[in-house]
Structure 1
Amino acid sequence: MTGSFWLLQTKVDPSVYLFILVILLLIVWANKKQRDGLNWPPGPRPWPIVGNILQMGNDSLPFKKLKEFRKKYGDVFTIWFGPIRVVFLNGAAIKDALLQPGDTFSGRPDISFFRNFLKGRTISFSSINEEWHTRHKSTKQAVGELMNKGHLQTIVNAEINATLEVFKNTKATPFNCQEILQDAVGRTIFQMCFGPLEGQHGKDTLKRYVQAIVGLPDELPYLMLAELYPVLEPFLRKHKRAFYNKSDYLVGIIDNHRSYLEEMGLISESEEYAENSIMDILKQKDADLYKYVILDLMGAGTDVLSTTMYIFILYMTIFPDVQTKIKREINESLDVDDIIEPIDIAKLPYTEATIYEILRHARPTMVGIPHATTRDAKINGYDIAKGTVILPNYESILYDDQLWKDPFEFNPNRMLTSTGQVDVEKKRLIPAFGIGKRKCLGKPIGQMSIHLFVMRIMQACSFRPVLGEEPSLDWIPNLVLRPKPFKVRIQI
């Protein structure tokens, strides 16, 4: 009693009482958020203000912690990022949610970035509404038209030939092929969007585009962090500025290039051009839509595709036995003088199995862009209120020991049936291009490009490590997981 009386008599700065009061209110607020009458998915108890961020561990890749949470709480659990509740989906719950009929799990979070980025007109980031469905349908049709005409295949083959010429000129000296792959993929997507490169202006425009687009997705996590924790915004301002400056710069490149093409008469007068570019297909339906769709395709495609190809070469260098088997299969199944077609991948089950095992093992896209519920929903018996942020943890599928024996081991044979054919069911488990209505619209382009690249490159090249500089499977964490830069010796 005496101690308590002394405490009451002690002079304490009023700000201390205010601080204690704020903390108590935040604790009450957090508990209230947990108990709002809904049967929310379970999860670790959040701390005031910071949520669960301090419980995610200090590993640069937080998936070990997510795996622990999944083991404790199940396939659906809640993590608080500051004041924002995020429901993580794991394993079978991902497809159960994202493949539900309708748009229930296909929204985007109601935060300023998604609302304001490029006026909210991009397909990747904007909310789902009637306009979104119209844009989505138009873009899907435009991509389909180009695929059916075989125009994309012509572009891809031309870029692979140019890449092979660069590889040949290295004369087996140590070479980092990352930049040449970025250029090749950039040229492919650029020509698909705009049509053939015309003169020096086209080449200069392409160069500026590739320089601006590479690394753009890497700024996104910093923008999300600034949204979740506004107090950190001053420290993340340079990333925010870099993202928006690059985005505006890219829109300017697109507008300027279209103006140039119109001035040169390459849009209105060239029937071949009009048949072979996404821009001309889309501008007939919406005069302004094409620029946002093109930025969508270029932004995601250039980075993800070039990184996937870079990773493939990494794996061939680290696993020479796999490389030897692929080259043997290609040499036995394809004539060196034949023009390789996308359908030829069906003749190469081990090669195709290796592609999908690399996509599983390397997991270039581990977590999808955040979704949000468009209405109240249920998943695995839990209540999910409208507007809740949903994050699919694709790594939980790719490394699930219930689906894959020894998941941390790289083994292309796991993707084959007992008869030596590609296991279709296992291939479907690989969410390389996303799942559901938000999956990448460029999926057909990506699949064709990767298949043609692998077949042509492996038919012509062998990849050897540089003595004393052997590459490793160490990764640079970000929205797109990248290997650390490496050099190889390319023999043709």
Structure 2
Amino acid sequence: MARDRGGSVAMCGGVLSGAAGNSDGGAGSPFLAGAPSPGGAMRSAGMNLSPAQGGCLHLRRLVRREHPPASLSASLSRDLLDPPLQTFPTGEEGGRGGKEESSVRDAKYGFEPLLSARPLIIDHPSFFAQDPGGLQAREGRIARTRAPTPSAGTAAGAPLRHMAFERLGEALRGLPASQGCLLLLLCLLAAVHLGKLLLQRQQRRRQGQRRAPPGPFPWPLIGNAAQLGSAPHLSFARLASTYGAVFQLRLGRWPVVVLNGERAIRQALVRQGAAFAGRPPFPSFQLVSGGLSLAFGGYSELWKLHRRAAHATVRAFSTGSPATRRLLERHLVGEARALVALLVRGSAGGAFLDPSRVLVVAVANVMSALCFGRRYSHGDGEFLRLVGRNEQFGRAVGAGSLVDALPWLQRFPSPVRAAYRAFRDLNRDFYGFVRGKFLQHQRSLRPGAAPRDMMDAFIRLQREQPRLQLEHVPATVTDIFGASQDTLSTALQWLLIFLIRYPNVQAKMQEEVDRIVGRDRLPCAEDQPHLPYIMAFLYESMRFSSFVPVTIPHATTTNTFIMGYLIPKDTVIFVNQWSVNHDPAKWSNPEDFDPTRFLDENGFINKDLTSSVMIFSLGKRRCIGEELSKVQLFLFTSILVHQCNFTANPNEDPKMDFTYGLTIKPKPFTLNVTLRDTMDLLDQAVQRLQAEKAANENQLSANA
């Protein structure tokens, strides 16, 4: 295109193209009537065009060399950032304002013929007021159209990009340094996040995906972590009401699919158990049990062998034989006696006490006796520090934990870094404690002797299963000891809350145990089938509290489908057990505490309903200590209601708040405990069981 120093013009729609500008036009060109026509402007630029040439005149870029009015500068700056196309209707007078007038205008304003990617609107009043050529609109209205944009990398696009960066630099220089850096970081994160989303969409299309689970929009860097709140299981239930039983989230860099409701959970964990049996490679999981955890370890053939062996050993020490059941009962009665004595002593004179600490030690002592063959005093500070950090453990590995969702926060001073370090220290101390017991048992275990406890049983098992590493023994015992005492102590806290919040339920339980067991002995494991109301109370407590609201996070081991949605391999899976236990389609009035819902018309336990309570998970990751836990819960509960009365503190809010983690624990509460009779039955039972233990030890020594 020929051009002079005065300006640069081009015809839109292909009427004028480069230097080939000699053509004739008609009278209907889209320019303002009475304004200089393209022909006149082009002739002033050295081009032979008729006034009615027609098309859209593009003023690509206007730069005033001297001092244009301030309002014009503002208009030009605004239009350079967003320059839509302006077209003007023209008539017969469009050619007015010849070369002389155009030259005057060009000299006055110093327009340079710089190309830009998009046209500029010249519509500011001050421009027309200063224009000696009289470029004014007599009639018609400015109509906006969109002009074609030069392709990237062309000479026409380069100046605009250059100016855009200059403008951005000027804007950033006007900001404080911290705000500028933050703005640049956010822009970069948004671009990276958008690129990842586009890449994932392309990958899903290549895989032939029909549709992914719906879900809320994930924000850059943090994903949906901010939407989970302090009670993720409740947030999952609310999101399920919007997106359905299966929906997806993103926590940091982790893709997460949440399963709600019994149908979706059973389809995944039972019908496709192997596909959903993995564990995500979360940083916290690698710290548990020396990195060889059965509960937190990955799914493999070795893991399956490990689990079968561990399950058989735990079952042998819970319900496997009358001898092992008697051993469990002996340990538990001794701890129940110590627990009742401490609760009654703390309630002397009508006082109210917090039962959480004594419950933790009582349950931990039962598991310590089963695993290591010894118990600890309630005043043992070292043991109490070891077992008193369950809440720290649960917060770190619970579903939605920021320790795993946003591990990069560990690089900066933050609560996440403090939580991770506390979790690391906790696991180091806990595993060190158990490993010390393992080394002691290795030295003292006699060949051919009967196992004294679970540690002995696992050592012998490892010798029979060479594929299991020796370090699997302390790792497995750490899992059993840690998980059982945390779960059971939390469950007992909820049981006591329900006893004091619903005194009529407590009275019915006491009436049943008195009628079936009597007042001349303590309840035992053989009484369980004959105490249906107590069992109904236990199942309703598990259902209502859902004290394990979301299982340990799973991961998919292969690409799979569930309820029509594709779940890619290595997707993190959250299983919302709370949604099953509070599903109004299954439970009438699920927010009411009512043990009788588990009883049939004849007063017996409805086993179909009890099997629907979801606490210990399902499928290949089902808790191996489920039977052991239920036996202990029954014995503790039946002995406590047989021996004691429990009263709530009237000065406390009856609302049952909780703190979230792998288990949800009730907020601290106090109660008063009094004996229904005396401690004689408990004292006699402990003496009798101790005599049995001594007799068994003497017999073993004689046989050896």
After TM superposition, the score normalised by the length of structure 1 is 0.91
Residues 1:452 and 2:452 aligned together: no
Distance in 1 of aligned mates of 2:496 and 2:590? 21
Distance in 2 of aligned mates of 1:17 and 1:351? 63
The aligned runs of 1:229-240 (5 Å cut-off) are 229-233=406-410, 234=412, 235=414, 236-240=416-420
- Runs of 5+ unmatched residues, structure 1: none
Residues 1:248 and 2:428 aligned together: yes
Q: What is the CA-CA distance between 1:83 and the residue it aligns to?
A: 2.5
The aligned runs of 1:224-373 (5 Å cut-off) are 224-233=401-410, 234=412, 235=414, 236-260=416-440, 265=444, 267-268=445-446, 271=449, 274-286=450-462, 287-373=470-556
What CA deviation, in whole Å up to 9, does each residue of 1:188-228 have, x standing for no partner?
11111111349x9x977744542455643233349942332
Q: What is the CA-CA distance between 1:336 and the residue it aligns to?
A: 2.3
Bigger mean CA offset, 361-370 vs 430-439: 430-439
| Structure 2 CA distance for partners of 1:63 and 1:116, relative to 1, 3 Å | closer
Distance in 1 of aligned mates of 2:536 and 2:516? 15
The aligned counterpart of 1:11 is 167
The aligned runs of 1:417-456 (5 Å cut-off) are 417-456=600-639
Distance in 1 of aligned mates of 2:372 and 2:439? 12
The aligned runs of 1:80-159 (5 Å cut-off) are 80-91=250-261, 92-100=263-271, 102-115=273-286, 117-147=288-318, 148=321, 149-150=324-325, 151-159=327-335
What CA deviation, in whole Å up to 9, does each residue of 1:270-309 have, x standing for no partner?
94xx423111111123332221111111221111101111
Distance in 2 of aligned mates of 1:116 and 1:401? 39
Q: What is the CA-CA distance between 1:97 and the residue it aligns to?
A: 0.7
The aligned counterpart of 1:217 is 394
What CA deviation, in whole Å up to 9, does each residue of 1:366-425 have, x standing for no partner?
111110111111111111111111110111111111111111111112122222221111
Bigger mean CA offset, 170-179 vs 308-317: 170-179
The aligned counterpart of 1:53 is 225
Aligned length: 484
Distance in 1 of aligned mates of 2:352 and 2:480? 32
Distance in 1 of aligned mates of 2:390 and 2:242? 40
Distance in 1 of aligned mates of 2:385 and 2:191? 53
Question: 1:194·1:277 contact (CA, 8 Å) conserved in 2?
Answer: yes
**Identity value in percent:** 26
The aligned counterpart of 2:247 is 77
Higher helix content, 1 or 2: 1
Residue type matched to 1:279 in 2? M
Question: 1:217·1:300 contact (CA, 8 Å) conserved in 2?
Answer: no
| Structure 2 CA distance for partners of 1:385 and 1:167, relative to 1, 3 Å | same
Residues 1:29 and 2:29 aligned together: no
| Structure 2 CA distance for partners of 1:487 and 1:54, relative to 1, 3 Å | closer
| Structure 2 CA distance for partners of 1:192 and 1:270, relative to 1, 3 Å | farther
| Structure 2 CA distance for partners of 1:25 and 1:309, relative to 1, 3 Å | closer
| Structure 2 CA distance for partners of 1:18 and 1:454, relative to 1, 3 Å | closer
Secondary structure in structure 2 of the residue aligned to 1:285: helix
The aligned counterpart of 2:357 is 179
Larger radius of gyration: 2
Distance in 1 of aligned mates of 2:396 and 2:281? 19
Question: 2:372·2:453 contact (CA, 8 Å) conserved in 1?
Answer: yes
Q: Residue 43 of structure 1 is aligned with which of 215, 235, 240?
A: 215
Distance in 1 of aligned mates of 2:418 and 2:381? 27
Q: What is the CA-CA distance between 1:120 and the residue it aligns to?
A: 3.2
Distance in 2 of aligned mates of 1:119 and 1:344? 40
Q: What is the CA-CA distance between 1:470 and the residue it aligns to?
A: 5.3
Question: 1:163·1:184 contact (CA, 8 Å) conserved in 2?
Answer: yes
| Structure 2 CA distance for partners of 1:403 and 1:27, relative to 1, 3 Å | same
Secondary structure in structure 1 of the residue aligned to 2:461: coil
Q: What is the CA-CA distance between 1:231 and the residue it aligns to?
A: 3.5
Question: 2:311·2:624 contact (CA, 8 Å) conserved in 1?
Answer: yes
Residue type matched to 1:4 in 2? D
Question: 2:394·2:663 contact (CA, 8 Å) conserved in 1?
Answer: yes
Secondary structure in structure 1 of the residue aligned to 2:274: coil
Residues 1:67 and 2:223 aligned together: no
Q: Residue 415 of structure 1 is aligned with which of 581, 591, 598?
A: 598
Question: 2:399·2:662 contact (CA, 8 Å) conserved in 1?
Answer: no
Determine which structure has greater relative contact order: mean sequence separation of CA pairs < 8 Å that are 6+ residues apart, divided by chain length.
1
Cα root mean square deviation, aligned: 2.7
Question: 1:223·1:240 contact (CA, 8 Å) conserved in 2?
Answer: no
Distance in 1 of aligned mates of 2:399 and 2:568? 26
Q: What is the CA-CA distance between 1:19 and the residue it aligns to?
A: 5.7
Question: 1:314·1:471 contact (CA, 8 Å) conserved in 2?
Answer: no
What CA deviation, in whole Å up to 9, does each residue of 1:303-358 have, x standing for no partner?
11011111111111011111111111111111222342223122121211111111
| Structure 2 CA distance for partners of 1:213 and 1:12, relative to 1, 3 Å | closer
The aligned counterpart of 1:196 is 374
Distance in 1 of aligned mates of 2:421 and 2:635? 37
| Structure 2 CA distance for partners of 1:25 and 1:474, relative to 1, 3 Å | closer
Distance in 2 of aligned mates of 1:121 and 1:258? 15
Secondary structure in structure 2 of the residue aligned to 1:332: helix
| Structure 2 CA distance for partners of 1:320 and 1:145, relative to 1, 3 Å | same
